[in-house]
């Protein structure tokens, strides 16, 4: 069909500022050939062209999810999902673990992901003794929703060689109870060691299952209008699997692989192919570097800010930032640094080492994506770009900062001046961040998920889900970005809202910039790939509260109809 050509007629939202809305898009040979009136498009494509009427719907550039854990999602697709509603209990989590144990699968590692300690009645996740009751015989890793924390059972701890005498691994923590006994809970560097170990052992016999889940996940993304993602942590074992999936035609969407090391997601990897190289279906993305923890993100405040709000208020307020460890409050420890400022959370790099790493990535032809949630981590990431960013010049895309959740105006301006892209997750506002932040906003001048502040500081936004941390439904994320409404019907920092058009831009042209492919996709313009989503309504013409009622009717990737709603 692409060879003969096709005209989509109705309303097309192009994301091209020169002509933002047109009547028709003509495609042929996988490429957009004409954008304009229906008469112009039909004339350009010639006699006998097939015309698809959009009715009350609209055609847009297909969506891009710039930070999405595709390989891990496919990997954990075979076990029950622990994303439970608020008010569930540890017993509910254990019930699902028991079901997975009962399903068999030998005596090797078992892992399940998605529980949020803050949403459980007990205000904490399960611990080693509780896990042993339902899974005594196999090593078990329970992965928290943030994918930065988890819990092991006794067999899991033994498999890792961890007991009460073990020191905390680098950039990680083994949580301890009375007498220094391990609770099984593992955080950051410790969690990621267990994550890598359990994954490697499961992959040995799970490759075919991964391949099937990879294909199914890609089809689900197409049904949501997503045709391209950045996989934000690809260990070498997954690189090989992606190659196989691409060669076998089992990768329905394009996946940009962002390399990390085999031993731990926290370790960067610069020894592979440069950004943009590799199979067109699964090219190399930017190298991923982690600046700070997730629940233990690196924050810093001045004594003045402290004095203004008082220690108790500050602690509660920062807890209100919605990151589970901080929400618990008691786990937040403030330390006075030599700079006279108060610091909390985990910062993984020192500045000179980070500067050298960014330079080395650039020399290897790798663009960089720095995970930075707290203001201290974001400042460090931006400083590295100021010091070493020249090494990245000429590489595909632009330097990325992942998450950028807690920052002030001055820091937003530094991000803008550094030319970095903020890869943001608006759905977090609805899902877990907004409720806590709405109750107790972070202390002035820090803002939570400051989308408007970033945009007005000249920062390009790229939209993403961080799936499976939160859902990948783009229209729900756009609704959250526009309404700032939370799961519990609160409104979080409403002056940080985006317009629908701005939010759509983040999931189309912004995503293309973040993946270094803005020359080939992200807008509806002649010469670009025909990556197009057809929606049931025009999202610019309906009430933002109705955005989640909009349906994806068709998804085209490279001009091929890859999804059609039945």
Q: How far is the CB of 427 from Zn ion (least distance, A)?
A: 13
**Stretch of residues binding Zn ion (CB under 5 A), selected from 76-84, 228-236, 326-334, 444-452:** 228-236
Compose the 329-368 pattern: x for residues touching Zn ion by CB under 5 A, - for all others. Answer: ----------------------------------------
Which CB, 480 or 562, lies closer to Zn ion?
480
Cβ-Cβ contacts under 8 Å for 434 (sequence gap 6 or more): 322, 428, 448, 449, 480, 484, 485, 486, 487, 490, 491, 492
Query: Can you read off the two tokens belonging to residue 281?
Result: 């279906």
Measured between alpha carbons, how far is residue 27 from residues 16, 31, 538 in Å?
A: 17, 6, 20
Distance, CA of 254 to CA of 279 (rounded, Å): 10
**Stretch of residues binding Zn ion (CB under 5 A), selected from 216-224, 226-234, 347-355, 541-549:** 226-234
Q: Which helix (H) or strand (E) holds 217?
A: helix 189-223
Interior angle at CA 240, CA 237 and CA 246, nearest 5: 140
Which CB, 159 or 466, lies closer to Zn ion?
466
Which CB, 131 or 260, lies closer to Zn ion?
260
Cβ-Cβ contacts under 8 Å for 105 (sequence gap 6 or more): none
Q: What are phi and psi of 330, to 5 degrees?
A: -65, -25
Is residue 241 at the binding interface for Zn ion, with CB under 5 A as the rule?
Answer: no
Is residue 431 at the binding interface for Zn ion, with CB under 5 A as the rule?
Answer: no
Q: How far is the CB of 310 from Zn ion (least distance, A)?
A: 34
Q: Which helix (H) or strand (E) holds 402?
A: strand 400-403
**Stretch of residues binding Zn ion (CB under 5 A), selected from 198-206, 224-232, 503-511, 539-547:** 224-232
Query: Can you read off the two tokens belonging to residue 315?
Result: 């602690």
Interior angle at CA 389, CA 383 and CA 395, nearest 5: 145
Q: How far is the CB of 426 from Zn ion (least distance, A)?
A: 15
Report the site for Zn ion in 63-82 (rule: CB under 5 A): none
CA end-to-end distance (rounded Å), the chain: 20
Could you tell me whether strands 172-176 and 149-152 are parallel, antiparallel, or unpaired per DSSP bridges?
Answer: unpaired
Q: How far is the CB of 425 from Zn ion (least distance, A)?
A: 9
Q: How far is the CB of 525 from Zn ion (least distance, A)?
A: 30
Q: How far is the CB of 10 from Zn ion (least distance, A)?
A: 36
Q: How far is the CB of 388 from Zn ion (least distance, A)?
A: 23
Interior angle at CA 371, CA 355 and CA 124, nearest 5: 135
Which CB, 259 or 365, lies closer to Zn ion?
259
Measuring CA to CA, which residue among 385, 432, 392, 439 is closest to residue 411? 385
Which CB, 146 or 483, lies closer to Zn ion?
146
Which CB, 466 or 496, lies closer to Zn ion?
466
Report the site for Zn ion in 147-206 (rule: CB under 5 A): none
Distance, CA of 236 to CA of 163 (rounded, Å): 29
Which CB, 127 or 288, lies closer to Zn ion?
288
Total number of residues that touch Zn ion (CB under 5 A): 2
Which CB, 8 or 196, lies closer to Zn ion?
196
Query: Can you read off the two tokens belonging to residue 428?
Result: 């977090």
Q: How far is the CB of 217 from Zn ion (least distance, A)?
A: 16
Compose the 459-478 pattern: x for residues touching Zn ion by CB under 5 A, - for all others. Answer: -------x------------
Q: Which helix (H) or strand (E) holds 434?
A: helix 434-439
Which CB, 130 or 466, lies closer to Zn ion?
466
CB-based contact 255:106 (threshold 8 Å): no
Q: How far is the CB of 39 from Zn ion (least distance, A)?
A: 46
Q: What is the DSSP letter of 143?
A: E
Which CB, 76 or 466, lies closer to Zn ion?
466
What 3-state DSSP class applies to 519?
coil
Is residue 232 at the binding interface for Zn ion, with CB under 5 A as the rule?
Answer: yes
Interior angle at CA 82, CA 76 and CA 83, nearest 5: 110
Q: How far is the CB of 401 from Zn ion (least distance, A)?
A: 12
**Stretch of residues binding Zn ion (CB under 5 A), selected from 231-239, 335-343, 350-358, 432-440:** 231-239
Q: How far is the CB of 371 from Zn ion (least distance, A)?
A: 7
Which CB, 234 or 299, lies closer to Zn ion?
234
Which chain residues interact with Zn ion by CB under 5 A? 232, 466
């Amino acid at each position: 069909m692409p060879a003969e050509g096709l005209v989509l007629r109705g309303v097309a939202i192009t994301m091209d500022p020169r002509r933002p809305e047109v009547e028709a898009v003509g495609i042929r040979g996988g490429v957009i050939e004409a954008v304009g009136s229906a008469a112009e498009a039909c004339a350009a494509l010639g006699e006998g062209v097939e015309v698809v009427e959009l009715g009350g719907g609209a055609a847009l550039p297909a969506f891009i999810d710039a930070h999405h854990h595709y390989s891990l999602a496919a990997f954990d697709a075979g076990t029950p999902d622990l994303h439970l509603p608020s008010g569930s209990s540890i017993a509910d989590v254990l019930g699902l673990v028991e079901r997975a144990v009962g399903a068999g699968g030998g005596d090797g590692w078992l892992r399940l992901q998605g529980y949020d300690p803050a949403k459980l009645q007990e205000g904490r996740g399960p611990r080693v003794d509780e896990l042993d009751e339902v899974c005594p015989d196999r090593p078990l890793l329970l992965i928290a929703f943030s994918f930065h924390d988890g819990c092991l059972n006794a067999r899991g701890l033994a498999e890792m060689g961890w007991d009460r005498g073990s020191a905390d691994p680098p950039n990680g923590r083994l949580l301890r109870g009375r007498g220094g006994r391990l609770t099984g809970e593992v955080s950051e560097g410790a969690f990621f060691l267990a994550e890598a170990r359990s994954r490697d052992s499961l992959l040995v016999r799970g490759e075919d299952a991964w391949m099937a889940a990879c294909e199914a996940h890609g089809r689900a993304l197409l049904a949501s209008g997503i045709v391209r993602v950045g996989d934000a942590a690809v260990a070498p074992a997954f690189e090989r699997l992606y190659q196989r999936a691409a060669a076998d035609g089992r990768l329905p969407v394009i996946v940009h692989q962002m390399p990390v090391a085999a031993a731990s997601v926290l370790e960067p990897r610069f020894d592979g192919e440069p950004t943009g190289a590799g199979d067109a279906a699964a090219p190399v993305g930017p190298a991923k570097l982690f600046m700070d923890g997730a629940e233990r993100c690196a924050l810093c405040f001045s004594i003045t800010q402290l004095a203004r709000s008082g220690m108790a208020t500050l602690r509660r307020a920062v807890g209100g930032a919605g990151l589970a460890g901080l929400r618990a409050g008691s786990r937040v420890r403030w330390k006075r640094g030599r700079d006279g400022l108060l610091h909390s959370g985990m910062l993984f790099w020192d500045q000179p080492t980070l500067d050298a790493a960014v330079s080395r990535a650039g020399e290897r032809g790798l663009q960089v994506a720095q995970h930075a949630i707290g203001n201290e981590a974001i400042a460090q990431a931006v400083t590295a770009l100021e010091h070493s960013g020249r090494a990245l010049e000429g590489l595909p895309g632009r330097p990325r900062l992942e998450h950028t959740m807690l920052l002030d105006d001055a820091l937003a301006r530094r991000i803008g001046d550094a030319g970095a892209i903020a890869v943001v997750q608006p759905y977090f506002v609805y899902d877990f961040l907004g409720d806590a932040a709405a109750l107790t906003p972070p202390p002035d001048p820090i803002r939570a998920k400051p989308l408007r502040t970033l945009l007005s500081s000249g920062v390009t936004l790229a939209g993403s889900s961080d799936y499976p941390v939160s859902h990948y439904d783009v229209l729900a994320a756009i609704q959250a970005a526009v309404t700032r409404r939370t799961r519990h019907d609160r409104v979080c920092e409403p002056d940080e809202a985006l317009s629908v058009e701005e939010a759509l831009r983040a999931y189309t042209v912004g995503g293309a910039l973040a993946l270094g492919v803005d020359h080939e996709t992200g807008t509806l313009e002649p010469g670009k790939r025909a990556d197009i989503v057809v929606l049931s309504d025009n999202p610019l013409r309906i009430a933002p509260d109705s955005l989640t009622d909009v349906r994806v009717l068709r998804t085209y990737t490279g001009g091929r109809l890859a999804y059609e709603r039945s």
